[in-house]
Amino acid sequence: MSSAGGSQSGHGVAGSGDDFQVAVDRLLRLNARTFAITGTVPLFAPITLFFQTPTGSCHLLRFPSESSIPSRSFDAFLAACEPVTSPIPSAHGRSASTAGASPPTHHTFRSNPARPINTSFDIASHPILETVRRTLFPTLLAEGSNNYLVASLNRVDVFCPGASSAQPRGFSSHRTEGDDEPVAHIIVTLPVRFRGGMLAVAKDGIEEKFWGRGTLSGGSSQPTAGGFAALGAQDAKKPAGSIGSIEWVAWMGNRECEQKIEKVEKGVRINLVYDVRIRGYGPNGTSPRALLTPNDNLLAAVSSVLKRSRGMKLAFYLTNDYGISPSHVLADSVVPLLKGSDLALYHALKFYNLQPSLRYTAGGFIWPTGSTATIVASPQYLEAIKRLALKSAGDDEDLSVQIEEGGGVPLDREGIVIATGKEQGKVGRERVAILEARQSKLECE
């Protein structure tokens, strides 16, 4: 893909001079090191924050809030939160301590992990995670990898006037026991008026800044610089039927990046902080956790077969076609694509701590694990090979030689028993390319 925006010279590179090359290099460097992204999502209904007070009663806060003056519910929410000592940020955003410095005041609050908290904002109802997947993890979460992203609400951060925060690289947020390290974080800024409080995320000397702006219909205030949330501006791009939009920011995990909230000058900044983790439901996934649990009848049937086949190498036919080329694709690469009864049987075998592998078979032959299925034939045997669909290649000694030339091994030599019968039904089939070998090559081999 190419895009031109000016005159071209030389070998298709526009502009001239060192300044232009420096600008191009900076553009390429930043584009290749994307570590933080932002966007907005429309609001079609107010956001409600549910929380529990120290006395056990339940309260709620509703957003958007045009007022920056705390309400009774807001005071109750702060009482239910934990005060956070604001660190003294250094020049690079890292916390620092100064001997003899006056103790910091509590301008920052964080929801108490010991008390339940929830919100009506459903992050899964917006394409935020898909955007994060495609932008921050384009290769790790490739199509067919059986990996996907999940987001869980970690906490709610409240930054009152005068508050700021800095989290150095390697900072570990609160996690439930058994949870693995988040691979990314998402902040959703709730629609409350504030000035300042800009979010800055840095990695490898590159810093990105995000204002935390949003737009809501129904007023006259306009967005201004310095991170002031625009809560009354009429937005011509506002989706029809929505009451406005709010900003979200996502960045790679804290082991990759450091982030800080600059000083809030006026109002209150409230962030929903989500942890993003990778989940997998197949053997090729990262931290795989099966989504499918086979039903009891299937598990009992598999158990019955396994008890009666001790010491045997069992194989089952797949029942679906997958549109692959066995001569170019390894059989095990089909695992992430398994569907229907094939997927159910695969997980049933995994349930009994077995390690099933996929292999190609044809005409009484089977190809080894990690091998593609190739049939090499001389011209005089091409017609015979076509008979594979009608008979076993093992009945034709000459044809068997040609099949073995392509890597096929007789099933009985491998000691493999295919578990099939009158209830088999459809058997999955894929087209195999037949390679015509020259006679001289066959004679040499």
- Please check whether residue 155 is in contact with residue 113, taking contact to mean a CB–CB distance below 8 angstroms: yes
DSSP conformational letter for 123:
G
| pLDDT string in tens for the chain (445-residue length) | 555 555 444 444 555 568 888 888 888 887 778 899 999 998 888 999 999 988 888 989 988 875 555 578 888 999 999 998 754 443 334 443 333 333 345 588 999 999 999 999 999 999 999 999 888 888 765 655 677 889 999 999 999 988 888 876 655 555 555 567 899 999 999 988 888 899 999 988 888 889 876 555 443 334 333 333 433 334 445 555 567 888 999 999 877 888 899 999 888 899 999 999 988 765 554 455 566 778 889 999 999 999 988 888 888 989 888 888 887 888 888 887 888 888 888 888 888 888 888 988 877 888 888 888 776 665 655 555 555 544 444 445 555 666 676 677 888 888 888 888 888 888 888 876 666 554 333 332 3
One-letter amino acid for residue 113 of the chain:
P
For the chain, the first-to-last Cα distance in angstroms comes to 47
Q: What is the DSSP string of 311-341?
A: T-EEE----S-----TTTS-GGGGGGG--HH
- Please check whether residue 395 is in contact with residue 409, taking contact to mean a CB–CB distance below 8 angstroms: no
Using alpha carbons, select from 275, 83, 76, 51 the residue that is nearest to residue 163.
Answer: 83
CA 22 to chain centre: 34
From residue 391, alpha-carbon distances to 317, 385, 396, 429 in Å are 18, 10, 9, 15
Residues 262 and 159: their CA atoms lie apart, in Å, by 10
Strand partners, 51: 59, 117
Q: What is the pTM of this model?
A: 0.65
- Please check whether residue 432 is in contact with residue 326, taking contact to mean a CB–CB distance below 8 angstroms: yes
